[in-house]
Amino acid sequence: MIRFHNRVKAVFEARNDQEFQAKRDFETYLRFNQMIERYANKQPKILDIGCGMRLPFLMQFTQDGYDITGTEVVATGPRFSLNKYFYSLKHGNFFNIIENLAWDSLLCGRYHKELSKIRGKKIGNSEIRKSKLLLHPPDAINLPNNCVDVIITNSVFEHVKDTMALLIEMNRLLKPNGIVYSQIHLFPSLSGGHNEWAWPQKIKPSNTPPWGHVRVDCDYSPPSGIFLNRLRQQDFIKMFEEIFKIISIENIDREGKNLLTPKILEKIPSYYSKDDLLNRNVAVLMRKPSS
């Protein structure tokens, strides 16, 4: 109950964060876009797996004329669309109904306004209505084999229960030589517990210990409604390599260097390296072998 209360509180606090969020989503979009322009075929068919509630990349790629489909395991869609509420109701996901209600009524308008300002053109519900969206069970995306040139995922892999099943599904959907660009928010990082430390560059919480989610002297459970598989960068890379050919691995955003004292390090199991603790994100570019 307390964890649920904290989630609701976080939604209210997020009202003032939409400028920051929109700026980050725009910067991430530019990086995804650059990778696609550089590595994919011309006019690629793109899949955004786990496209989320804000639909940040689905909206932007759609507005810029790309052929993109977003997929999700929970209900998402245009602001106040009844379909998404019925979908959550049908699947008994009441938490998702509350999250969507909070998003639609408190945050979505501000987010669209800020993203429009940054992009220099109006973006919002009309782009979501124009976009292609597919809701599906976690490991079975109802699309034919070899149907897309590019798969993108942002902050999805750390939430996936069966990572290998999703990778096998991605391999099935990708055309030979197709590319995957996945950005992962790493669990051992300062913000990786998805708790009050979510944005250490903005807020340094005083009542939650830094790296409390990986320390042996702290209790931790993820916020309610959030699943985290707790994998490290090297665990993901090992699994990716079983299916795809890795082109590049780039760490993005280092955080918490000045907070990682020897006293805290003593409390963290040694299978987490210092890089594991300081790198917020990794972006991995991969290719499906041609045969």
Ligand X SMILES: C[S@@+](CC[C@H](N)C(=O)[O-])C[C@H]1O[C@@H](n2cnc3c(N)ncnc32)[C@H](O)[C@@H]1O
Site residues for ligand X per CB under 6 A: 49-52, 54, 56, 71-74, 138, 154-156, 159-160, 166
109 versus 138: smaller Cβ distance to ligand X: 138
In the bound state with ligand X, the residue whose beta carbon lies nearer, of 99 and 276, is: 99
CB of 272 to ligand X, least distance (A): 22
Contact criterion met (CB below 8 Å) for 224 and 270: no
Q: Which is nearer to ligand X, 32 or 39 (CB)?
A: 32
Residue 228 Cβ vs ligand X, minimum distance, rounded to whole Å? 10
Q: Rounded to the nearest whole angstrom, what is the least distance from the CB of residue 48 to ligand X in the complex?
A: 7
Output the smallest distance, CB 60 to ligand X, in A. 11
CA of residue 278 relative to chain centroid, distance: 19
Residue closer to ligand X by CB (options 13, 266) is 13
Nearer Cβ to ligand X (67/139): 139
CB nearer to ligand X: pick between 156 and 173: 156
The token pair at 219 is 């209790």
Nearer to ligand X, 24 or 267 (CB): 24
Number of Cβ within a 10 Å radius of residue 228: 17
Query: 22 or 160, CB closer to ligand X?
Result: 160
* CA R_g for the chain: 19
What the block records as the tokens of 207 is: 């009542």
Of the candidates 198, 217, 146, 183, the one whose C-alpha atom is nearest the C-alpha of residue 35 is 183
Residue 258 to residue 209: CA distance in whole angstroms: 14
Q: How far is the CB of 223 from ligand X (least distance, A)?
A: 12
CB of 96 to ligand X, least distance (A): 9
8 A C-beta contact, residue 26 and residue 118: yes
Q: 22 and 14 in contact (C-beta within 8 Å)?
A: no
| CB neighbour list of residue 134: distance below 8 Å, 6 or more residues apart | 69, 70, 71, 72, 141, 142, 143
Contacting residues for 93 by C-beta, under 8 A, at least 6 apart: 74, 75
Which amino acid belongs to residue 227? F
**CB of residue 183 to ligand X, shortest distance in Å:** 8
Six token digits for residue 285: 């570019």
Provide the minimum distance between the beta carbon of 54 and ligand X in the complex, in angstroms, as a whole number: 5
Residue nearest ligand X by beta-carbon distance: 52
Question: Most distant CA pair in the chain: distance in Å?
Answer: 53
Contact 236, 249 (CB under 8 A): no
